Amino acid sequence: MIGRLFRFHGGIKPDAHKDESAGPAIQRAPLPRRLVVPLRQSARASASCLVEVGQTVLKGERIGEPEGFLGTAVHAPTSGTVVDIARHPMAHPSGLDTECVVIEPDGEERWIAHAPFDYHAASREEALAWLRDCGIVGLGGATFPSHVKLGKGAGIETLILNGAECEPWITCDDRLMRERATDILAGATILRELIGARELVVGVEDNKPEAIAAMKAAAAASPHGVKVVAVPALYPAGGEKQLIRVLTGIEIPYGKLGGDYAVQCFNVGTAYAVYRAVAHGEPLISRIVTLTGNVDKAGNWEVLIGTPIQDLLPLARPRADTDRTLLGGPMMGYALPRLDVPIVKGSNCLISASPRLFPPPPPEQPCIRCTECAKACPAELQPFELYWFGRSKNFGKAQEYHLFDCIECGCCSYVCPAHIPLVDYFRFAKSEIWAREREKAAADQARDRFEFRNFRQEREKAEKAAKLAAKAAETRAKLAEGGAGDAPAAAAAGGEPGAEDPKKALIAAALARAKAQKAEVQPQNTDNLSPQTQAEIADIEARRKALAAAADAAPPAAVPTDAEPRP
């Protein structure tokens, strides 16, 4: 059992801005005119389409079949008609397109037949398959498939429920814990049984007193021994590895997962989705989204997956001076290049930004190596060194300084007195390294194909030569076994029997076989011929035999050489 709290290295305390949206209760967003449901809900996996244009679907009906190990199903958020299956822009800084199913709601909200899933009576594999088919993924932002994260059902001592929500402005988990704490713990209990954990701990930042009180009340009423712990509000305490460090003292190095150290972490929103999937048989078709920032009506709404952001923003009434919209928090989120993109399972917050709330960054100045970034880095890196290596494109050295340990939390950029966008340099360096590794892998693959092609050609050439040699040896063996019977062939080759040139003997034998085969060939289509035609054929064959006999009897023509005068 956890006895005391620990501290991770670095961290910052930005203005929380939680009160703007944490007060109002969760509201249900109205149905949009159209729902654009991406079949790729994350960068890790996509789903194959199961519906056709013109097909009528029910709420909760599966429209995407999971593909691959990390795949999860995609479902229709409401009842209606599939009006299009095409590529649409996705909620990503690149603005690239992805395959989407466009549904026109009928307003009736007709559900498919669904019922609770008795996971006690089912095997563990069946329970994990149920979560996969219900499309359950991590709702903290990473959207990692929950059925994969549950592992093998053994080796986990502590299950941590992440309610820290350390990113400024975001309050969707806060409101969820305040209003649905009992359901969250019910889902956490299901996760605990499936993963085989001995203890269940809920970590909530201490700047959420109402959520802590609600979770403690639900834990007190639960017979499963749940402990709710208030952790210091220090960004990024909500990071999985940082929260594990605070609650257990275990440091998870890069390249390792919590499961390797007998601890696993799930978001409170994920636990609630697991409860709905098991207790009610409902797939993941909606999530809580915070609408805040430069708006008149900040709050949290329960939004259907696939709702276009441009249809959702008016609910919060953005002010006239709003100049851009951020998806996610101000530390790790990004400005949307367009607003016709849909809400996906990983969308937790929309911030309407203005020059007053988020002033343009000052001009970038030279690095003075003050090491403030290193003091704030929760991964204990040296961002000032990584910055120089990334800027000079010395990517090998950047990797030596553990570039890929960076979690891109933005703490270094936040404290930098030179206003250097350090995280942007790190993202650039990572992308360049990945691109070069892909190019190297492609070049290695092309070289392997070329070398195998050469090897195959040499092998086929050797096999052909071996076959020819074997055939020649077989012929020579037959000639040797023939003995005196080969005398005519030897004479035809121009030598004495037993002393002829082997090559001439082989040629003579081949000619003899060809003549024999030719003699065995019978003319075709000679049935039911008239007597006149048969006489003509007999005459032609007689002339042909006479010409062949004359050619065999004629002596070979002398071949002139350079020593003999030409006529």
Among 457, 479, 501, give the residue marking a domain's end.
Answer: 479
pLDDT at position 512, please?
Answer: 80
Q: Do 263 and 201 share a domain, yes or no?
A: yes
Label residue 546 by pLDDT band (50, 70, 90).
Answer: confident
Q: Do 348 and 430 share a domain, yes or no?
A: no
299, 24 in Cβ contact below 8 A? yes
pLDDT at position 522, please?
Answer: 66
Label residue 558 by pLDDT band (50, 70, 90).
Answer: low
Question: Is the pLDDT score of 499 beyond 50?
Answer: no
- DSSP letter at 500 equals S
The answer to whether residue 502 is domain-embedded is: no
Q: Do 278 and 386 share a domain, yes or no?
A: no
Question: Is the pLDDT score of 518 beyond 70?
Answer: yes
HEC-encoded secondary structure of 279-339: HCCCCCCEEEEEEEECECCCEEEEEECCCEHHHHHHHHCECCCCCEEEECCCCCCEECCCC
pLDDT at position 498, please?
Answer: 47
Burial class (CB in 10 A: 0-12, 13-18, 19+), 250: middle
Label residue 559 by pLDDT band (50, 70, 90).
Answer: very low
Q: Do 378 and 266 share a domain, yes or no?
A: no
Q: Do 152 and 286 share a domain, yes or no?
A: yes
For the segment 73-85, what is each residue's pLDDT rounded down to a tens digit? Answer: 999 999 999 999 9
Question: Is the pLDDT score of 381 beyond 60?
Answer: yes
The answer to whether residue 233 is domain-embedded is: yes
The answer to whether residue 559 is domain-embedded is: no
For the segment 248-295, what is each residue's pLDDT rounded down to a tens digit? Answer: 999 988 778 888 899 999 999 999 999 999 999 999 999 999 999 999
Among 334, 353, 372, give the residue marking a domain's end.
Answer: 353
For the segment 429-461, what is each residue's pLDDT rounded down to a tens digit? Answer: 999 999 999 899 999 999 999 999 999 999 999
For the segment 188-210, what is each residue's pLDDT rounded down to a tens digit? Answer: 999 999 999 999 999 999 999 99
Question: Is the pLDDT score of 221 beyond 60?
Answer: yes
Decide which of 557 and 349 is more confident. 349
pLDDT at position 2, please?
Answer: 60
Residue that has been written with the tokens 């929500």 in this structure: 165
Among 450, 479, 508, give the residue marking a domain's end.
Answer: 479
How many structural domains is the chain composed of? Answer: 2
The answer to whether residue 118 is domain-embedded is: yes
Q: Do 280 and 309 share a domain, yes or no?
A: yes
For the segment 95-132, what is each residue's pLDDT rounded down to a tens digit? Answer: 788 999 999 999 999 999 999 999 999 999 999 999 99
DSSP secondary structure, 555-566, as one string: PPPPPP-TTS--
Q: Which domain holds residue 338?
A: 19-32+113-353
Pick from 36-50, 368-382, 487-501 the range whose average pLDDT is largest. 368-382
Q: Do 336 and 474 share a domain, yes or no?
A: no
- DSSP letter at 145 equals B
Share of the chain above pLDDT 70, in %: 92
The answer to whether residue 81 is domain-embedded is: no
Q: Do 447 and 299 share a domain, yes or no?
A: no
Least Cα distance to 295 among 15, 13, 24 occurs for 24
The answer to whether residue 198 is domain-embedded is: yes
153, 317 in Cβ contact below 8 A? no
For the segment 456-491, what is each residue's pLDDT rounded down to a tens digit? Answer: 999 999 999 898 888 888 877 877 776 545 545 444
Q: Which of 23-37, 379-393, 429-443, 496-510 is least confident?
A: 496-510
The answer to whether residue 291 is domain-embedded is: yes
The answer to whether residue 310 is domain-embedded is: yes
Q: Do 334 and 224 share a domain, yes or no?
A: yes
Question: Is the pLDDT score of 515 beyond 80?
Answer: no
Q: Do 119 and 213 share a domain, yes or no?
A: yes
Distances (CA, A) of 185 to 99, 139, 177, 296: 35, 16, 10, 33
**pTM for the structure as a whole:** 0.79
Q: Do 155 and 183 share a domain, yes or no?
A: yes
Q: Do 279 and 389 share a domain, yes or no?
A: no
